[in-house]
């Protein structure tokens, strides 16, 4: 959810309700000798309101698991989740009269603080990650399709190499392999001189596939093609080792590698969001459960809490 002008109606509504709640709190406390209390009718109202908002916020995760529910727009739910969630923090503070209370209420305060901080961190992430995806991953795909995309890119690279070299299986020629690696190393060190006239043809394409593309597609740690800079050098070397008529195949392989690097960046960013949800969602449900228990115990035993 991006913080933009569309948020202002909800922000204004929450600010108005917050001001009204604070005014009622001050008015109610002025008429009581011991000041505001959570067990007063107004204090209970604040507590019930906070619990109702927590239930609404929890319902967002249920709605996401049931997208066929046609109950309002997803963006409206998300705006309510964020801004009403912050309003609930104020209601809890007013309900407790800004007192820490006993062990249970202290635990509730800690849970509420963790949920609020993790929620604000999630909002912060959502301000940057979509922009990062837009610039770093122009061809962003659905998260559920990432694994299939990786498989399709590997198969496409195999087809390109097979079309250019006849087969993807290299010949067992140690001298050829050594020459390919020497030229590639020279390209990486920017010392290509006579290598520009070298044309190893199909064998160079096959060796390049097995020495560099296969580890990259398997996600091997430290794969050379995972770096854009080193990838540019290696593909420059490959162009010197293949005839001009294979330039289009080399360009296609380079585009496939760039596409895979983009999808890897997308997966990393998506994992950041997923890691945040792993923290925020269980904490939120824990807070809701503890708040419900607190409400039952408070209503049953009253001031004993």
Report residue 191's pLDDT band, with 50, 70 and 90 as the boundaries. Answer: very low
Residues contacting 43, CB < 8 A, separation 6+: 36, 37, 94, 95, 97
Residue 287 has pLDDT above 90, yes or no: yes
Residue 49's region, left for phi above 0, alpha for psi from -120 to 50, else beta, is alpha
Taking the CB of residue 37, how many other CB atoms lie within 10 A of it? 18
Which residues, other chains included, contact 146 with Cβ-Cβ below 8 Å and sequence gap of 6+? 263, 266, 267, 270
Q: How far apart are CA 118 and CA 277, in angstroms?
A: 9
Tokens of 68: 């066929």
pLDDT at position 115 is 95
Given a cut of 80, whether residue 62 has pLDDT beyond it is no
Q: How confident is the model at residue 194 (pLDDT cuts 50, 70, 90)?
A: very low
| pLDDT mean over 86-108 | 89
User: Tokens 């005839």 appear where?
Assistant: 243
Sign of the CA dihedral with 240 first, then 243, 245, and 250 last: negative
pLDDT at 268 over 90: no
Q: 73's torsion region: left (phi>0), alpha (psi -120 to 50) or beta? A: beta
- Answer for the pair 36, 42: CB distance below 8 angstroms, yes or no: yes
Supply the mean pLDDT for the chain: 81
CA–CA gap between residue 84 and residue 230 (Å, rounded):
49
| Buried-exposed string 247-284: b where 16+ CB fall within 10 A, e elsewhere | eebbebbbebbbbbbbbbebbebbeeeeebeeebeebb
pTM for this entry: 0.69
Output the pLDDT for position 139. 66
User: What is the rounded radius of gyration, in angstroms, for the C-alpha atoms of the chain?
Assistant: 30
| Neighbouring C-alpha atoms within 13 Å toward the C-beta of 242 | 25
Domain ranges (residues) in the chain? 5-140+276-304, 143-266
Q: Is the dihedral of CA 134, 137, 141, 146 positive or negative?
A: negative
Q: Is the pLDDT of residue 207 over 50?
A: yes
Within its chain, how far is the Cα of 209 from the centroid? 32
Grade residue 295 by pLDDT with cuts at 50, 70 and 90: confident
pLDDT greater than 60 at residue 193: no
pLDDT at 1 over 90: no
What phi-psi label fits residue 178: left (phi over 0), alpha (psi between -120 and 50 degrees) or beta?
Answer: alpha
- The 10 Å Cβ neighbour count of residue 17 is 16
Q: Percent of the chain, pLDDT > 90? A: 32
Report residue 2 CA to chain centroid gap: 14
**Mean pLDDT, rounded, for 211-228:** 88
**Range in 137-151, 191-205, 282-296 the model is least confident about:** 191-205
CA 170/CA 173 separation, integer angstroms: 8
């Amino acid at each position: 959810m991006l913080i933009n002008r569309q948020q202002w109606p909800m922000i204004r509504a929450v600010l108005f309700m917050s001001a009204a709640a604070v005014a009622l709190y001050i008015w109610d406390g002025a008429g009581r000798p011991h000041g505001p209390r959570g067990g007063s009718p107004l204090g209970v109202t604040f507590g019930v309101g906070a619990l109702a908002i927590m239930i609404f916020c929890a319902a967002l995760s249920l709605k996401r698991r049931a997208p066929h529910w046609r109950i309002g727009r997803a963006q409206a739910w998300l705006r309510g989740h964020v801004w009403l969630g912050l309003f609930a923090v104020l209601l809890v503070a007013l309900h407790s009269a800004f007192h820490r209370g006993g062990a249970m209420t202290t635990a509730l305060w800690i849970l509420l603080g963790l949920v609020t901080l993790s929620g604000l961190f999630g909002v912060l992430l959502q301000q940057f990650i979509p922009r990062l995806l837009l610039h770093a991953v122009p061809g962003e795909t659905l998260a559920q399709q990432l694994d299939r995309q990786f498989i399709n890119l590997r198969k496409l690279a195999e087809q390109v190499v097979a079309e250019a070299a006849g087969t993807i299986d290299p010949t067992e020629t140690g001298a050829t392999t050594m020459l390919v690696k020497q030229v590639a190393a020279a390209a990486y060190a920017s010392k290509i001189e006579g290598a520009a006239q070298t044309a190893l043809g199909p064998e160079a394409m096959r060796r390049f596939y097995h020495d560099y593309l296969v580890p990259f597609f398997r996600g091997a740690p430290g794969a050379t093609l995972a770096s854009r800079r080193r990838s540019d050098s290696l593909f420059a070397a490959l162009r010197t080792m293949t005839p001009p008529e294979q330039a289009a195949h080399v360009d296609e392989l380079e585009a496939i590698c760039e596409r895979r690097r983009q999808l890897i960046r997308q997966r990393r960013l998506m994992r950041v969001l997923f890691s945040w949800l792993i923290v925020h969602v269980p904490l939120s449900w824990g807070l809701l459960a503890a708040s419900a228990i607190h409400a039952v115990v408070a209503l049953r035993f009253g001031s004993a809490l």
